[in-house]
Amino acid sequence: MINRIAMLLACSIALLPHSVRAQDAVIDVPGTALNDLIARLGSPSASGSYLPPASAPPGNPLPWQWWVTDAHFSLAPGVLTFTATVLSQVGGQNFSKTITVPASIVFDSTSNSLRISIASFVVPIQSGNITVAQVDVANIYGLSVPIAPQTFVVYLPEGGVRSITGRVTGATMAVQSAQVVLNLAVGF
């Protein structure tokens, strides 16, 4: 009986002449899964040498290196944040800067993807008042997961079949203490 009702409901949706929208998909993303994903990226780093501009007095190249450590998300009811530490070495000097910024998971309709969005998080690598490099941490850890449209095949009561393509049209995020709940709006 339940299968017959489900089939009739699916057929009714399939035969509607207009687009249907519903908040009928929910994804629970545990905070541990977000942090496992970030951990798999390792500790991004870069190095180089800073050469003074031609207009400056001649000098020796200044070696620099940076790396990002301890990157992780923190969840509290209604709040998702991202924290990371940027370590750097310029010449013989070591520096460390830890920053926490807001984060979110949003649906990007132009690319049909869920995107981990991290607020502006740029750390300048400096020697005195000279910036030798910049670390755009938000860009490094801002990830995107594509969500392809899904085609469902519905068997009609008279024996035919109908294909219905469903796609995500929007998403809202609710942060709980241990997980992010994504409510996806699906259109057919």
Domain assignments of the chain as residue spans, ordered by start: 2-42+62-187
DSSP-assigned states of every residue in 116-175: EEE---EEEEEETTEEEEEEEHHHHH--EEE---EEEEEE-TTS-EEEEEEEEEEEEEEE
Higher pLDDT, 60 or 148: 148
Report d(CA 97, CA 95) in Å as an integer: 7
**CATH number listed for the domain at residues 2-42+62-187:** 3.15.10
**Average model confidence (pLDDT) for the chain?**
85
> Quick one: pLDDT at residue 81?
97
CB 83 within 8 Å of CB 72: yes
Q: pTM of the full predicted structure?
A: 0.78
Whether residue 22 is predicted with pLDDT greater than 50 in this model: the reply is: no
Q: Is the model's pLDDT at 15 over the cut of 70?
A: no
* Per-residue model confidence (pLDDT) at position 152: 86
Summarize the confidence of residues 20-42 as an average pLDDT: 83
Could you report the per-residue pLDDT of 61-95, keeping only the tens digit for each? 889 999 999 999 999 999 999 999 999 999 889 99
What is the tens place of the pLDDT at every residue in 150-179?
898 889 898 899 998 988 888 899 999 999
Is 73:36 a contact under the CB 8 Å cutoff?
no
Res. 123: pLDDT tops 90: yes
